[in-house]
Amino acid sequence: MSEPTQEQYQHILSSAIQAPSADNHHQFRFEIANQALRLWYPGILMPPGGGYKRALLLLSLGAVSENITLAAGKWGLGGSCTLFPDPARTDLAVEVRWTHDDSLLDPLHEAIPDRHTNRRLFFHGPGLGEGELDGLRQAAEHLPGCSLLWLDRPELRRESLRLIRLAEIERFRNPALHKELFSAIRFDVGWTESCADGLPPGALEIEKPLRPVFRLMRHWPVMRAFNLLGAHHMMGLRAAWLPCRLAPHVGLIAAEGWSDSGVFAAGRAFQRVWLAATALGMSLQPLPASAIYAMPSASSENVPKNLQPTLAEAWRSILPDRIPVMLFRMGRAKLPKLSTSRHDFVRYLR
């Protein structure tokens, strides 16, 4: 059995922290011991069977784990990932045990440094051909139980846009969801600077004339007053409906169920799709709200009780035997003016 060298570990861990995360927050720690790499998430993944916030964390853990295995494959090292390996240690999220196999090199690892979220309003064509779209489907299906559905046919795009609009409007109309949305935005860094933790406002690609209004909207009394004029409808359309309406492709990562292992695998599958799209020169933006608000337990986390079943029923008509986990738009676009960045650092225990 082989184990990475110190230099290889540095590359693997640097690749790990380049994985996407909910609102650009990575709170895990690493431990290197006993021929294994462990990821610790102190307490925040509890309780088991939680709602969409837990699902977002599991998706992030999946993406981190996929980056680890892809980076290790550069040296013919395989990583066997186990989610929650010790029931007695609920903060031990993932354990990666090493194997050696020279066939494990996957060219997707080369796209890890280039992967980024692009929130520009306009994604243009040309779109990908059927062969390339099929290749992205295969990237998702590399993980058992996961699949990728393209929502590009007119009837599918029309219905998915309706669900996207319903979910995004609620994020500006519901005080708890509004607080969650704006709490991740680092207005303190201004519109021209990036940051390693949280979302810098400049990365949101808000048009300059709208920036003062958007900044005011972080205050719920102001947002509530604006909503009397229909601001939640306008913001819902601008935030996701219009960008998806204009994008060449809208895709959906699906899984067999909302189990922890199923969502974790979906996070790994989505990361593979994102890296494969990056290698093809495509821009991508994840838009999970309409999918994760359909979770059965979403109503316990401030999603309105009438919205959750509406989303769930509509997605069932599109995916009779699967559940939606992550929706995204994809197309061609200039690089974002500002993107989130993480310094090349890792925290780990021995």
Domains and CATH numbers, the chain: 6-113+340-349 (3.40.109.10), 130-331 (3.40.109.10)
pTM attached to this predicted model: 0.94
Confidence at residue 2, expressed as pLDDT on a 0 to 100 scale:
76
**pLDDT tens-digit profile of 187-230?**
999 999 988 888 999 999 999 999 999 999 999 999 999 999 99
SS3 content of the chain, % helix, strand, coil (to 5): 50, 15, 35
Burial of 233 per CB tally in 10 Å (0-12, 13-18, 19+): middle
User: Phi, psi at residue 199, to the nearest 5°?
Assistant: -105, 115
What local confidence, expressed as pLDDT, does residue 246 receive? 96
State how far the Cα of 274 lies from the Cα of 268, in Å rounded to an integer. Answer: 10
Q: Which pLDDT does position 23 carry in this prediction?
A: 79
pLDDT confidence of residue 87? 87
Residue 289 region by backbone torsions, left for phi larger than 0, else alpha for psi between -120 and 50, else beta: alpha
The confidence score (pLDDT) of residue 43 equals 62
Among 330, 269, 324, smallest CA distance to 137 is for: 269
Beta bridge partners of 327: 252
**For the chain, which ranges sit under pLDDT 70?**
1, 43-50, 102-104, 341-350
Angle between helical axes of 52-73 and 260-279 (0-180°, round to 10): 50
Q: What is the pLDDT of residues 103-127, one digit of tens each?
A: 668 999 999 999 999 999 999 999 9
Q: Where are the alpha helices (DSSP H) in the chain?
A: 6-17, 52-73, 130-141, 154-173, 175-183, 211-216, 220-227, 231-236, 242-246, 260-279, 289-292, 307-318
Beta-bridge mates of residue 255: 323
Q: So what's the pLDDT on residue 349?
A: 45
Residue type, 122: F
Gap between the Cα atoms of 337 and 331, Å rounded:
17
pLDDT at 346 (0 to 100): 47
CA dihedral of 219, 224, 226, 231, whole degrees rounded to 10: 100
